[in-house]
Amino acid sequence: MALDLMRDITTALKSEISAELGSDYRELDYLEDVAKNSFRSGNDRYGVRALGGIQEPGVTKMVTITQQYEIVLTKGYTESNIDDDPQVSKSYDNRENFLEIYKRLVNNRGGLPGTIINITDLTISEPEFLVDDKIAIQRATLSITYRYSLI
């Protein structure tokens, strides 16, 4: 039951992210090691995965969980021989996208308003770069509180 909820939430988050970013973005094949992805057919990618969670105090015969979810965004850049402005610019683009995604997820309760109680604690990491592929990678985590019945 709870595992299916995690899959349902992950699927709903992917749908919301895809709708926010548009058709230029595709889903990442590899999330654990982003460098394993082939970026030949497109650099703008996203991915979502469930991380750890904890049980919160709740009502009788219901389990309330607050779980971390990670969102990964990638964006391609063109290399400059003068400075690293293209890299920095794409990392700002990723951060802007995270803020828009977060706003959408909070307003739509992650696409599962009957399951998700709250979305909080957005944390955006520092950018990473795949220099050979010219890709800016950014990760963000957020806390999703949801509930399921023990009955």
Tell me the CATH number at 135: 3.30.70.1700
pLDDT (tens digit, 9 = 90+) per residue, 20-45? 999 999 999 999 899 999 888 889 99
Q: What is the pLDDT of residue 3?
A: 58
Ranking 85-89, 108-112, 125-129 by mean pLDDT, the lowest is: 85-89
Q: CB-side exposure of 33: number of CA atoms within 13 Å?
A: 2
Number of compact structural domains in the chain: 1
Question: Given a cut of 80, is residue 79 above it in pLDDT?
Answer: no
Spatial contact of 147 and 64, defined as CB atoms under 8 Å apart: yes
pLDDT band at 2 (very low <50, low <70, confident <90, very high): low
Strand partners, 143: 68, 120
Strand partners, 62: 149
Q: Domain containing 136: what range?
A: 2-149
Average pLDDT, the chain: 91
Q: What is the pTM of this model?
A: 0.90
